[in-house]
Amino acid sequence: MRRPARHLLSIDDVSDADLRALVDRGAALSRGEADPPRPLDGQVAGMHFRMTSTRTRAAFSVGALRLGAHVLALGPGDLQTGTGETSADTGRVLAGMLDLIVARTGGAVAELRGWAAQDRMSVVNAMSGTEHPTQALADLATLRLRFGDVEGLRILYVGEGNSTAAALSLALSRFRGVELELRTPPGYGLAPDVLAAAGGHAARRGARITELHTMHAPPDDVDVIYTTRWQTTGTTKKDPDWRTAFGPFQVTEKLWAHSPKAAFMHDLPAHRGEEVTPGVLDGPDSIAFEQAANKLYSAMAVLEWCRGDIA
């Protein structure tokens, strides 16, 4: 009998055991240790991206193909969601035809929860307005590969408290001994509910998460410095003078001097000279492009997990 489909809409939908299994599986696939069978043989995976994507869409499309699925591209204006069809009706109809859908809506995750109100077609959030969970899974797989373990790492996140920062906070706060410090511009921090949820995870698992709105006195000797672009795909900032607030939050060689052994991470796309200097992004300690490459392996792990093949 067919197993009920699993959905990945938020990091908080995934148990601790499954989170670790997804991270480990992504890392193993990246190392070439785990030759995957073709668990999606004959299945159909829809890719619905309402906003641009280089990495996430390619990773899930190629990942689905490598796992044996056929891929159906559904463009930004292709569904009737824009003409008033409810999300529950959309999910119910698509579930009769697709085995899996990966969607970047850029809007509220509630829409995807409507699609996921059935257990035949898996729904994967490829970035909503509030969270980018599959990015965090690729990031943690990259950390696992670089450091051997995620537990105990000290990570400095610099920049906007956007969907990537939210997913990263919700994921890292579930690993013992992790110290995550976010430095976000005033007015551009993590959403209070995300900070509270991540703080709760951290308290229960022996991790620590802090957020400050200044670049004064950055921490020394962190393991990782992570940033993201200042203008997240599909978003705009109301304040025309927002760059004044973001200016001090650029990752520079001067910031690097506080943590000379740190690895640099960036979810990409990057804007050299804005959120990061070219010297840091293209320097020897940058693992941003390994991180991007790992999106494929992490996507494959997510697709396997959705169909019940890991954890």
204: which residues sit within 8 A by CB, 6+ positions away? Answer: none
For ligand CP, the closer CB: 231 or 233: 233
Size, binding site for ligand CP by CB under 6 A: 10
Nearest approach in angstroms of CB 159 to ligand CP is 13
If binding is defined by CB under 6 A, does position 62 make contact with ligand CP?
A: no
DSSP bridge partners of 154: 179
Q: Among the candidate windows 15-23, 51-59, 83-91, 213-221, which touches ligand CP by CB under 6 A?
A: 51-59
Site track for ligand CP across 171-210, x = CB under 6 A: ----------------------------------------
User: Which residue of 15, 54, 86, 235 would you call a contact of ligand CP, by CB under 6 A?
Assistant: 54
If binding is defined by CB under 6 A, does position 55 make contact with ligand CP?
A: yes
Q: Among the candidate windows 18-26, 40-48, 54-62, 117-125, which touches ligand CP by CB under 6 A?
A: 54-62
Nearest approach in angstroms of CB 182 to ligand CP is 18
The residue whose two tokens read 């190629």 is: 62
Site track for ligand CP across 258-277, x = CB under 6 A: ---------xxx--------
| CB burial string 95-129: b at 16+ within 10 A, e below | beebbbbbbbbbeebebbbbbbebebbbbbbbbbb
Binding residues for ligand CP, rule: CB under 6 A, are 53-56, 127, 135, 233, 267-269
